[in-house]
Amino acid sequence: MDDNKFPNVKEVYGTVARNYAEFRPRYPSQLFSLLSSLTPQHHLAWDVGTGTGQAAIELSKYYARVVGTDTSERQIQHAEQRPNISYAVTPPSMTDQQLHSIVGPDYSVDLVTVAMAVHWFDLDKFYAQVKRVLKKPGGVIAVWAYCKPRVDPAVDAVHERFFSRIFPFSHPAAKVVVEEYETLPFPFAQVEGIKMEIEEQRTFDEYMGFFRTRHTLVGREEILEEFRAEFEAAWGAELHVSKAVKFPLCFKVGKV
């Protein structure tokens, strides 16, 4: 596929920064408690592709210092602030000098996290830099994404039809999320057995808000509108009534 057929990822994420912060699921606190338990020390965590700082905020409860980096200035502008978090807008691929000045010297980072973003990276370059900055031994890298949300059989059936319609327009880099990161290259000693999901109460508009932030990237927002009536019928007459929405997380966690 020709990548020029797709919207620019950096520009799109910048455009939807406010909606992204509002409608994306909030990661459960137990996720960060678990990750922090895997690192012997808790001096420095690096959250890559930090966006609006969802993961960085939680990491700041466990690590003395957190660095959140993103290529989107607008995303960083909407990030929540904490005294022990420093945010930086970076180029897609940092030089070693930039890496050391923004993040830290070699073997200084306890934990590297990437939430819903690693599939957009130049993995060879990124993984090489992760291996440089992670502490040896004991450094941990964790990458994750949320997979198809689940509500109830009626809503989920509409989502399956909607997904089948929009999937052909997806950017090739995002298709690894559909495969639940099973096909994602990951040159680290993997920590197995980590399973988790997010459950949130959402109204119909909040449920649709999630899709607007997710599928803007394919440049086919009209497809979501095509399915809106079906989603409404499946949700039920009282669209303002919240339903439990579950977002399964798919993980790769590893050590150097």
In sequence order, the β-bridge partners of residue 44 are: 65
Contact yes or no for 58/29 (Cβ under 8 A): yes
The pLDDT, as a whole number, for residue 13 is 47
| pLDDT tens per residue across all 256 residues of the chain | 344 443 444 444 444 445 555 667 889 999 999 999 999 999 999 999 999 999 999 999 999 999 999 999 988 998 999 999 999 999 988 999 999 999 999 999 999 999 989 999 999 999 999 999 999 999 999 999 988 899 999 999 999 999 888 888 777 777 888 888 999 999 999 999 998 999 999 999 999 988 877 655 455 778 888 999 999 999 998 899 999 999 999 999 999 8
Global pTM reads 0.84
Q: Where are the domains of the chain?
A: 3-255
Residue 205: other Cβ atoms inside 10 A: 11
Buried b (16+ CB within 10 A) or exposed e, 4-42: eebeebbebbbebbeebbebbbebbeebbeebbebbeee
CATH of the domain spanning 3-255 = 3.40.50.150
Give the whole-angstrom CA distance, residue 63 versus residue 56.
10
The pLDDT, as a whole number, for residue 93 is 87
Give the whole-angstrom CA distance, residue 113 versus residue 204.
31
